[in-house]
Structure 1
Amino acid sequence: MTTPRFLEGRRALVTGSVQGIGLAIATALAREGAAIVLHGLGTPDAQAAARTAVEAAGAPAVQVCAHDLRDAAQAEALVHAALAEGPVDILVNNAGIQHTASLADMPRQRWDDILAINLSAAFDTMRVALPRMAAGGYGRVVNIASVHGLVASVNKAPYVAAKFGLVGLSRVAALEYASAGSRESGGVTVNCVCPGWTETAIIQPQIDARAAALGVDRAFATRDLLREKQPSLRTSLPDEIARVVVWLCEPAAHNLTGAAIPVDGGWTAQ
């Protein structure tokens, strides 16, 4: 006898989901039976590959959107486009960009873009989606923050500001919707997942550069890079982050709200 997939009949919108952590999350939700709304500005080939991956994982339906989240109107329009095809029971705000430079040298436009995509877009998607979740008695918002939503690092002023803001925004929303729904309906929760070093394309250049500079292999370079911050000396895999998100969507997680969950190998425990 097969185990029922607990998200059958549910629908999930995952921003920034044509690659990396976002695609892993969308795929993991699809495995549990959720219909998926993919989002990203990737190439048509990347979008098609993402669609194929979530369909293969078991998504009963897939919608693909390519709204530019730097524009507040586009962020809001993304949710309305998803709602036009059906309910949005799960919202994962994963889209994010990064740029490293000192505070004095950070281009002003980079500040605007990072704050818009990493923080303001989540505000806009949440304010459209959450009232509808509350009306149905079930909803899950999972915002992919970062260890940098809990601690700071140099040369990342806009990213750290956005991620700290995302944690605070999530806590406010969690309080406002804490009483929506019931144990039976599943309730409405808002949480952050805060990854540390994770195996994505973003960190690959840093690992490659360190390996070249030290004349070592990738495994040694990875441990050397992590030694500065992450005591486990192990990266997380995107699918491991996705499993945390899936667990937060379970009915049993109805009372876990307003949390910022670090998946950081002990980074923030120091």
Structure 2
Amino acid sequence: MPTSALPWYLKAVLRVAIPAACLAALYLSIPGEIAMARTAGWSETYAYAMPVCVSVYALAAAAIAAYRRKMRLPGQVTALIGAAMALVLAMCAQSIAHLIQQNYMGTSAVLVVAVSCVPPIVVAHLMHMAETPSQQRTASEEMEDLQAIIERLRDELLESHGATAALLSTRIKGVANGYAGLSAVAEPLSQETGTLIEELEDLLKEAAAEPRKPRAAVSQEVIERAAESLRQQGQKVTGSALAKALGVGESTGYRYLKSLTA
């Protein structure tokens, strides 16, 4: 599985090699910048401040420009211009100082004036970067942003509730339409069921009103013939067998069996 973690050697480069290279570059710049300060007329005591004024200023301006660009803060352009000017100034100071030391060129009034202008230019640009308004936000601005976020969330919530309510309304309408369809189907069935119940009640009333016909009595001779027929078939003469043979109830069959044994 790929990972975005830096390997140990890259971490070592970031933490050790880069700072070491910067310190070495600043250290190597010291003699040339001191020589430039001496050429412009500064004494031995003050000439040692020139490396801080030029090289450290270039490093600071580059760092500020990179930070402002990353954080999208105001003053990105001026910081970037200052960093480029500081880098060009440091490069020119080194080159001119070495050219003078190796007798390739000599000093001049223009060079003295230019080198003498370096400290005030550095101070002016550093003060400009320090006074550039940053993105520090006041409490009122934070409250305004918070209010805007709350209003946006409220609008989104209302839209979400509106969509949910519309969906529920659609479903309720669908259920109501389905209920209406079922009611339309159930109404004829209910009418038919009511008609069938009425007809059944009429039949029951007619059956209850019709006089019950008495069952024809079975003669003793018929009972004896049924019993004889059972014996001929190899069956035992019982009340249930007689009832089945004569087509009467079982209790009546037992009563006929008693009449045989009487």
- Name the TM-score class by shorter chain: under 0.3
Relative to its length, the structure with more strand (as a share) is 1
Tell which has more relative contact order, 1 or 2 (C-alpha 8 A, sep 6+).
1
Relative to its length, the structure with more helix (as a share) is 2
What is the TM-score with the length of structure 2 in the denominator?
0.25
Say which one has the larger Rg.
Answer: 2
